[in-house]
Amino acid sequence: MHEENYSLMEKLRVKLLAFPTAELSVFDKGKKKLLKVFSQDKVEYVNDKPDILIFLTGGSERMAISSVQEYKFYLILASSENNSWASATEVKAWMNQHNISSMLIDFEDEKTVELINDFYNVRNGIRRLHGQRLGLVGNPSDWLVSSVVSPFIMQTRLGVEQVDISWNDIILDEVKQVAPDFTSLFSSENSSELFESGKVYEGLVSLVPFYKLNALSVDCFSLVNQTCHTACLALSKLNLDGLPSGCEGDTCSALGLMVGYEVCGVIPWMANTAYINGDKALFAHCTAPANLYKKFKTQSHYETNNGLALSGELKGEVVTIFRFENTLNKIFITLAKVTDHPKIKNACRTQLEVQLTNAAQDYFKNRPFGNHHLILPGDWVQRLTLASQLLRMEVKE
């Protein structure tokens, strides 16, 4: 899991709203009620630039709309008392008319505590993305006709800078030692090939401090075609280390790995859509973050039969599947039940079969954003949905 540095976390800015002549006792009473909702170390009460609007009474509509900004997302909290919900409904309608994104919720609902906590983590995760650097080693694979994000869009939408790096900047022949935590994590009867995978890991690791990288996307097929060695184990270990790392030079998926890590605390598995058959989908790829496996072993790489890749079973009885559209204006998110961990010979080594909803079936068959999708064990739909609203992305399922 992503170890949050809470000293770097910004508090949520909360504004309490009541009718203009309301006495201080109205606000004091409201704060006491909210002790059940907010962790006090995560919020501060403010008069301007709020993230959350809390309606204590009716008659507070004008004050509310004077506090909001276009292009922001707001949580609106209301209750059944003192015309709070009526006032919040009027403001929610005004926001919709003025293209201001918001979510209206009952602050007495037991699920609100989890929602606020998720909002806190998502908002800080999106903030941390700004200024991060994604290293693209090599070029995107030729077949990725719908999965390359313009560096300009990447910078303007997420605040992430693309750093172009050549494979020639990594002198693998000069790597003489491999970290013990790499060789102890993986095992193979072919010790020399395991060492070659370790050299790729060490080479990629060396880029991080030099280029000040926060993530990687690697043109892995040019490496295996030139050297007969793979980056699969290296990428799995880098993800375990907490550095989001994807393959095939797919920058769209790499950004998804980064967002997944920052808002959910887990780096997802980047997988091929191997087939869709009715309500069943098979996802497969030759690597996943090592911490997402129940168990795994090394095998040769599927497409080339060279080097080493990972084969194993992923954790979780349900998984969250998501993917950005390459303009970063839309995101697909769905929750799926795991039905099998197949071992089909003509697909990448790690495989996962899931059961799709009707809406997800329609997406994959009729309007997919591309091949690669990102998979997280567990239910992360709420956090990813909140992230999409903060980023002003349209959610598709």
Listing DSSP states for 232-265 in one string gives HHHHHHHHHHT--EEETT-HHHHHHHHHHHHHHS
Domains observed in the chain = 8-109 (no CATH), 133-396 (3.20.14)
Task: With both helix axes pointing from N to C terminus, report the angle between 112-129 and 381-390 in degrees, rounded to the nearest 10.
Answer: 50
Quote the CA–CA distance of 55 and 116 in Å, as a whole number.
Answer: 16
Query: Nearest CA to 219 among 285, 144, 294?
Result: 144
pLDDT of residue 6: 47
Chain CA centroid to CA 196, Å: 30
pLDDT of residue 276: 95
Per the structure block, which two tokens stand in for 120? Answer: 């806190």
Average pLDDT estimate for 198-225: 91
pLDDT in tens, 152-170: 999 999 999 999 999 888 8
pTM, 2 dp: 0.94
Query: In the block, which residue shows the tokens 């091929």?
Result: 272
Average pLDDT estimate for 48-61: 97
Query: In the block, which residue shows the tokens 């704060």?
Result: 31
pLDDT in tens, 95-111: 999 999 999 999 999 99
Of the ranges 30-39, 78-87, 135-144, which one carries the lowest mean pLDDT score? 30-39
Radius of gyration of the chain (CA): 23
Q: Give me the sign of the Cα torsion angle 42, 391, 290, 237.
A: negative
